[in-house]
């Protein structure tokens, strides 16, 4: 049979039907639309394409989108680790509630987190007022963008690190302690190497999500061109001005960046698995 080289034989039914439907649905609803964007961009001349990409306002938006997402991912790597550590290693009242709350950014609509953050951090909000007295303005500045991206990215880091921390071999830590290692040495030599792949995965996931985030940012960022305008917003603005070429070109670049990050995440995970195997031997 022709199909025998394509798949291993199995007595279970439904292969043709389910794979056929999966491929059809995927092609019609995801691949075809993505292809439309790619081809639309391909119809631009090199000159036009580069002009759109290197436009000053666009470059300022990349700087903000990437800078803020990078900074937010770093903050999440540090504090997300502490949260994961507390949840895995310590018992304290409210631990289960705290654990359940971590997924809130996954479940809460981005527009809601956006206006909620604006309410908290705006100069009239309860925290914004206090920060204003200290001379710090969060809402409608780049700091607001970072705060929104920390919120959105937090569960990625915590949920990546948690299972890795559970896996850390406690007897190794205890052995190190017995041999006279101080807590910092135990963390540096035993815990960090064990959770590093998971931490990096969480970091990259948070970064990827942050670069493309829109809903939670636009309410708190103020959206000033050149200053607090993220790239996804610039795409929306171009669409509103019927500049479809401009929107397509910027969208295409963001798509490429998403693919690159997806690739990076896969690399990190493969590396982590290999390391785990090497350690187990």
Distance CA 206, CA 84 (A): 15
Q: Does 13 bind other proteins (CB under 8 A)?
A: yes
Residues 221-260 contacting other proteins, CB under 8 A: 232-233, 235-236, 239, 244, 247-248, 251, 254-255, 258-259
Q: Does 23 bind other proteins (CB under 8 A)?
A: yes
| Closer residue to other proteins in complex, CB, 50/112 | 112
Q: Does 219 bind other proteins (CB under 8 A)?
A: yes
Distance CA 202, CA 161 (A): 7
Which segments of 27-134 does DSSP mark as H helices, in order? 32-42, 46-53, 56-89, 95-101, 104-107, 110-121, 126-133
Q: Residue 227 phi/psi, 5° resolution?
A: -110, -60
- As measured in angstroms, the least distance from the Cβ of 47 to other proteins is 20
CA distances from 34 to 40, 46, 117 (A): 10, 20, 32
Question: Which pairs with CB-CB distance under 8 Å and at least 24 residues apart come from 166-175?
Answer: 166/88, 167/194, 168/194, 168/195, 169/194
Residues 33-52 contacting other proteins, CB under 8 A: 33-34, 36-37, 40
Q: Does 70 bind other proteins (CB under 8 A)?
A: no
- As measured in angstroms, the least distance from the Cβ of 193 to other proteins is 20
- Cβ within 8 Å of residue 16, ≥6 positions away: none
Distance CA 268, CA 196 (A): 10
Selected binder of other proteins within 67, 123, 183, 225 (CB under 8 A): 183
- Applying CB under 8 A, the span of 31-39, 51-59, 129-137, 193-201 interacting with other proteins comes to 31-39
Residues 85-124 contacting other proteins, CB under 8 A: 85-92, 94-96, 98-117, 119-120
Selected binder of other proteins within 202, 213, 221, 272 (CB under 8 A): 213
Q: Does 175 bind other proteins (CB under 8 A)?
A: no
What angle, 0 to 180 degrees and rounded to 10, lies between the N-to-C axes of helices 244-280 and 231-240? Answer: 150
- As measured in angstroms, the least distance from the Cβ of 109 to other proteins is 3
Cβ atoms 190, 86 nearer than 8 A: no
| Closer residue to other proteins in complex, CB, 59/82 | 82
Q: Does 131 bind other proteins (CB under 8 A)?
A: no
């Amino acid at each position: 049979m022709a199909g025998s080289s394509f798949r291993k034989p199995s007595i279970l039914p439904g292969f043709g039907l389910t794979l056929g439907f999966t491929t059809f649905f995927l092609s019609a609803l995801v691949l075809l639309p993505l292809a439309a964007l790619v081809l639309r961009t391909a119809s631009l001349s090199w000159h036009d394409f580069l002009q759109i990409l290197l436009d000053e306002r666009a470059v300022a938006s990349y700087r903000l989108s990437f800078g803020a997402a990078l900074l937010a991912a770093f903050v999440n790597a540090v504090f997300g680790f502490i949260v994961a550590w507390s949840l895995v290693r310590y018992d304290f009242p409210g631990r289960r509630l705290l654990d359940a709350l971590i997924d809130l950014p996954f479940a809460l609509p981005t527009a809601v987190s956006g206006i909620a953050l604006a309410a908290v951090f705006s100069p009239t909000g309860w925290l914004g007022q206090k920060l204003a007295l200290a001379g710090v303005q969060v809402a409608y500045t780049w700091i607001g963008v970072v705060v929104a991206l920390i919120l959105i990215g937090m569960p990625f880091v915590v949920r990546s690190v948690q299972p890795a921390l559970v896996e850390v071999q406690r007897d190794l830590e205890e052995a190190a302690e017995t041999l006279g290692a101080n807590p910092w040495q135990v963390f540096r030599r035993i815990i960090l190497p064990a959770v590093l792949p998971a931490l990096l995965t969480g970091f990259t996931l948070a970064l990827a999500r942050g670069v493309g985030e829109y809903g939670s940012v636009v309410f708190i960022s103020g959206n000033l061109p050149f200053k607090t305008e993220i790239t996804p917003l610039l795409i929306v603005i171009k669409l509103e001005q019927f500049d479809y070429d401009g929107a397509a070109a910027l969208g295409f670049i963001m798509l490429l960046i998403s693919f690159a990050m997806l690739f990076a995440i896969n690399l990190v995970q493969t590396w982590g698995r290999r390391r785990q195997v090497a350690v187990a031997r």
